Structure 1
């Protein structure tokens, strides 16, 4: 919403002051990037991974709601160049020192977006990075707050994403680890051995997205029936029209129920 200035409130031409030798020049563009230790990191350029048409990306439905002609760009924040900010710079510096030559191979990109730090990790190095973040005295991310998933069908070769939210109780800091795997090979090393708290979170992510966490002690469905076909939170999962697939459902007595460990 914009408002027009009331009539008569504009400054008269003679009120403008010409800069002199003793008057600082304030004509510098307001868009000029700040410099020095207080400079903010440059916003990352968006990484466009697809275009969605319609409200929910569904076509061929005879949509008459008025939203069928919407065109939305699906974009992810791109890598952020250093500096990342005082606290984030310190975390990255300690992690780079701890991993030594492995850092550039393990960390695919670093993203600072909306005041949060995300490290995109290549899956073969996920366990090593997690152990380093947990055990290094300068980092001490002792707690994993949970694991979740995301599905981007148009992000070719990296359709499935797994995200881990880490918390440092010692230093009162948080960061996010993100790992992407292709739909054709949805295997990812489990972080259960590093953070046992992800036990049920990884099961839920497997149940709803189909990511296979290798090394998990009991990777089973926890919401859908064992014989359920598909993973309901994937973007290619049908919207409605799903036949009822609860076959011969019964609740077994406690001594006959399936174990989760």
Structure 2
């Protein structure tokens, strides 16, 4: 029997409330939320599995909690606000990552990247100011040079891009388990296909092609706040 997938609007599934902003005073760090100042959105609500109960985003790396490296690298690029989605052991994360970060409580740490990114709109100024959002994960280190290159690429051309993302070519079999970049005949990115979706496809050319694709998503994005907010309207798979 074919499995029936129930769809919901992500915008309806996510509860947006200023009360979920745990440290609103940190919005004043730097220049605050403005259209011309990029905002870092750090997704650090999940539990992870490699370090037991300890959050992965605060594991010590060269004398600093892991996610703090990306925060400081971003601040070396621009003095913009940093928003951090938290849930699992959030008090520990807040105490270790510092008081210059706007922490937002996530209602669903297993809801995926889109769910957590949507929760950043608990900061109402994102809709009114429409800043450029730079979205990344709390369990990796993004250097200043990467933030600079992402912004430069996003802003190049006759108009600002709708979305800029970082991808990487992986040597097989390291591409397995990662979200593959699917491109059209003009080499334009059309979607990101997760491994679990590939694995459920019927055997055929599409599945074989995606399974062999070595270009994968690195979960670093640049997108205007209102552009992202509009894209959250379409139906998404439940629990994704």
TM-score by length of 1: 0.25
Q: Which protein shows a greater Rg?
A: 1
Q: Which one has a larger percent helix, Structure 1 or Structure 2?
A: 2
Which of the pair has the greater relative contact order for Cα pairs under 8 Å at 6+ separation? 2
TM-score by length of 2: 0.26
